Amino acid sequence: MHRTVDVTVDAMIEDLRKLVETESPSRDRDALAVSAKAVAAVIESRLGGQAVLIESEAGPHVHWSAGDDPDVLILGHHDTVFPLGTLERRPFMVEDGHATGPGVFDMLGGLVQAVHGLATLDDLSGVEILVTADEEVGSRSSRALIEERALACGAVLVLEGAADGGALKTGRKGCGTFQVSIAGRASHAGLEPAAGVNALIEAAHQVLDIAALGRPDIGTTVTPTVASAGTLDNVVPAEASVIVDVRVESAGEKDRIESAFAALAPHLEGAEIAVQGAVGRPPMPESASAELFAVAKQLLPELEGKAVGGGSDGNFTAALGVPTLDGLGAVGGGAHADHEYLVIEAMTERANLVAGLVNAIRVRRR
């Protein structure tokens, strides 16, 4: 039986330590299986009931429901970008008002805060929690489940870390990755360079064409990020590849960019181009968060909202027309970096904010 408790920082730090010290790199299914059990144990110990592990090719997703007709989905992920062994080099620590360690900000701190916030409520009916195993690598195995539960619940609170200064994330760009593969023809670079088709030169042409697709004036960024070509210094390269990061603010720009990549054509005679990828996460317009952000402002008038460039699973739920509010997790910074940190002083306020939003959403829906 669930019983209400007050939010205490010591209890949150205890649970945060458990999760951070259970390393959970994306794509490591064995590690993620252990992590999922740790997440489930934290949820069950604080909220009661039973968390169900949903197996997938990426690793287990964790789903918990209080029962009754669903009203609100608490959405997060337990995979992190850090490889096994990071904890040994960068252990969990609490010092000078900060908690540090792999995943504290993105997004284990947010999960802990949400669970402890919910634990203060005397009624959890209509609440669901979904913690996925593959957000950091595109959510391919979890997207359908996320969309199903979001539609069933009708409102989504995303526990990703806050924006700068503790702001909530009221809008997100759509984002995707493209890989452009170029096939040329090898030849001896000294004896007969003209007999080859230089894939590296073709790649250079393509990089310039691709970069020109960006429209930063309307929020569209197209950034070549990784390139490779060639085998030996005396061989005309027969193969090359370019990886490109894309961010867009509108569905129209998503369509334009995807069409432009599909239409890329070679500059050199004999070169061939193949393109893979898409804008996999649709944009999250600020209109999707307006209703819930207004509620959050009633609870904490000093809160600010900010549209950001990064994507999250909230992009998927917002694209369905489900009211979605993001950035409700930890206040801190350094996501994906060695200096990642969480501000301990803000944990209680954030936990109580999640609880207040859940109550307000249920009142509006009933």
Give the CA dihedral 97, 171, 276, 81, nearest 10 degrees: 10
pLDDT of residue 2: 62
Stretch 65-75: mean pLDDT, rounded? Answer: 95
Helices and strands in the chain, H and E counts: 10, 16
How far is the C-alpha of 312 from the C-alpha of 177, rounded, in Å?
14
Who contacts 245 (Cβ-Cβ below 8 Å, separation ≥6)? 175, 177, 221, 222, 223, 225
The whole-number pLDDT of residue 299 equals 97
Q: Which residues have C-beta within 8 Å of that of residue 211, sequence separation ≥ 6? A: 222, 223, 224
> Which uninterrupted H or E stretch holds 358?
helix 347-365
Which residues in 276-306 are b (16+ Cβ under 10 Å) and which e?
A: eeebbbbbbbbebbeebbebbeebeeebebb
CA angle, 146 then 166 then 127, to 5°? 35
Q: Is the pLDDT of residue 365 over 90?
A: no
Residue 223's beta-bridge partner residues? 245
Give the tens place of pLDDT for each residue, 256-291. 999 999 999 999 999 999 999 999 999 999 999 999
Banded pLDDT at 123 (limits 50, 70, 90): very high
Q: Assess whether the previous peptide bond of 107 is cis (omega < 30° from 0).
A: yes
Per the prediction, the chain carries an average pLDDT of: 96
Answering whether pTM is above 0.85, one says yes
| Residue entry with tokens 């203060």 | 120
